[in-house]
Amino acid sequence: MSRRSKSRKPQAKSRKPQARSSPPPQAKIQPPAKARPLPGGRTLLALGAAVFLLFMLVGVLRSFTAFRALPRVGVEYISDLNALIQQRGEVATLPEIRTAATIDFDNASAVAKLLASARQAGDNAAIVSALVAMVRLQPESVPIRNELVTELLQQNRLVEALAQGEFAVHLDPNSSLAYGNLGAAFLGLNQKREAAAAYRKSLELDPTSAPARRALEFPLRGF
């Protein structure tokens, strides 16, 4: 018992000075930092446009470098292309024409030469590239867009053909060919009801349309 009482007395003495001493100063609590607002839609759009333009510039510079490295071709590439075509023919000059159209994709002359050479060479990818460039140069031209849709259908690029066909119909609701191409794209995607409606509209606009009549007789009978 005596040992316990002796051990408690020093604890009582140590508590008294603590009660008399002043409390330690409290540290100031810093307010939480405000979160930075996320970039708005306009900022993201501008950033995306800048990145896109940068990639476009890099592609143009690469094409220009490759173009300058080609024999008999310089900066005046349109006149040089004409000379090359006369010397070697359009089919043999197809790589140079493709490069020229890539460098100056707003040049209708280069794009027209690319399309003619691609058709002679049977280069389907180059044909589509040239037609896409022509559509970009003449976005309101329904005949060019119909030609692009026809080429896409022949290459079984049905989703692209459908998108271009719908745009062609929007540009000219009275084009029987546009509705026929649209029907072919729907039919290729096994959307038979939509295909039948497009073919009926094509036949309504042009009763002599043999493709629309054949499609409605078979395989769209009953739709």
Q: Which residue from 119, 114, 124 is spatially nearest to 93, judged by alpha carbons?
A: 114
pLDDT tens per residue across span 7-35: 454 554 445 454 455 555 555 555 555 54
pLDDT tens per residue across span 50-109: 776 776 676 656 555 554 444 444 345 566 666 777 777 777 777 777 776 676 667 787
| Cα–Cα distances in angstroms (integers) from residue 66 to residues 20, 61, 102, 110, in the given order | 88, 9, 11, 16
pLDDT at residue 60 in the model: 57
- The percentage of the chain sitting over the pLDDT mark of 90, rounded to a whole number, equals 36
Q: Quote the CA–CA distance of 2 and 109 in Å, as a whole number.
A: 115
CB-based contacts of 5, cutoff 8 Å, min separation 6:
none
pLDDT at residue 64 in the model: 54
Per-domain residue ranges of the chain? 54-137, 142-223
Class of domain 142-223: mainly alpha
The stretch 152-171 carries a mean pLDDT of: 94
pLDDT at residue 26 in the model: 57
Q: Is the peptide bond before 219 cis (omega within 30 degrees of 0)?
A: yes
Average pLDDT, rounded, for the chain:
75
